[in-house]
């Protein structure tokens, strides 16, 4: 693809390609009273005026039981209102922030996860400050929230609206350590995932990357890059105590932010990096 055709590759935002940033807390125990978090939206509360909607959707569990003297399976349906909640903020009619909790009761293969999503990302400093304020507010609602690990996820996206996809080399660096050489012989849609662990200062950080091209509709493709960094605690740490050392949390998560930047710089061509103002 020539440089002139780079104009047809549209980043998800005007100034950058970040479509979503997610800060995730994996909890050691489920949250017991999710309805209490609705109080955060009341007058004078921490999220009042910033978030508009609170949803406490109950999970539905269905179990089958064989009744005595019968071979029929009888369904037993129960609801649990403390398995999930979401708090939503909107800007110009679009979802801009989302705080979501999912309990492992919904699916035993899942973990208790509390995540803070920013879909209107501007820059790292503003994201950290707002994210920290929301973490602190959550920790003040329920004192017994303990954290096993936390992580930072960046999702970058580009849109391509022609039938003929661009060449791999026009978007991705063929010497990138994050992509195998074989991918540069691939045509059409594809996806590649990798995981590894490395030491960053004194902390062990787990990295997960997923890069690919998906078809959304006829002559409409999404080119995406996902980078996730996470760190585990040796023993669970209370969320309120985690928020008591803002400087340390900022230091570690800034390193995670820098790992994402390194990933993009080493994966995308210089032309694409210039296009999204990445230096």
Mean pLDDT confidence for 80-96: 87
Digit-coded pLDDT (tens) for 66-77: 555 555 555 555
Instruction: Indicate the DSSP class of residue 71.
Output: -
Mean pLDDT of the chain: 89
Digit-coded pLDDT (tens) for 178-204: 999 988 988 889 999 999 999 888 888
User: Hey, is 1 helix, strand or coil?
Assistant: coil
Digit-coded pLDDT (tens) for 120-131: 999 999 999 999
Structure tokens at 92: 């110009």
| Most confident region among 13-22, 62-71, 161-170 by mean pLDDT | 13-22
Structure tokens at 133: 């304020």
pTM score over 0.85: yes
How far is 58 from 234, CA to CA, in rounded Å? Answer: 32
Query: Rg for the chain (alpha carbons), in Å?
Result: 22
């Amino acid at each position: 693809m020539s440089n002139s055709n780079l104009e047809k590759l549209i980043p998800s935002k005007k100034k950058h390609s970040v479509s979503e940033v997610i800060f995730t807390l994996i909890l050691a125990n489920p949250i017991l009273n999710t309805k209490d978090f609705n109080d955060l939206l009341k007058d004078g509360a921490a999220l009042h005026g910033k978030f508009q909607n609170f949803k406490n959707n109950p999970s539905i569990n269905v179990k089958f039981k064989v009744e005595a003297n019968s071979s029929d399976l009888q369904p037993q349906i129960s609801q649990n209102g403390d398995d999930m909640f979401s708090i939503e903020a909107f800007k110009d009619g679009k979802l801009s922030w989302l705080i979501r909790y999912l309990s492992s009761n919904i699916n035993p293969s899942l973990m208790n996860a509390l995540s803070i999503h920013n879909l209107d990302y501007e820059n790292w400093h503003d994201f950290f400050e707002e994210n920290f304020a929301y973490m602190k507010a959550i920790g003040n609602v329920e004192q017994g929230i303990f954290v096993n690990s936390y992580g930072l996820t960046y999702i970058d996206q580009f849109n391509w609206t022609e039938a003929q996809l661009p060449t791999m080399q026009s978007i991705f660096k063929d010497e990138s350590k994050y992509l195998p050489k074989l991918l540069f012989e691939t045509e059409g849609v594809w996806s590649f995932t990798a995981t590894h662990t490395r030491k960053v200062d004194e902390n062990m950080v787990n990295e997960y990357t997923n890069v690919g091209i998906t078809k959304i509709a006829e002559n409409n493709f999404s080119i995406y890059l996902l980078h996730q960094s996470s760190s585990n605690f040796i023993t669970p740490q209370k969320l309120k105590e985690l928020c008591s050392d803002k400087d340390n949390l900022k230091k570690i998560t800034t390193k995670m932010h820098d790992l994402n930047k390194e990933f993009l710089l080493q994966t995308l061509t210089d032309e694409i990096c210039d296009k999204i103002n990445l230096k």
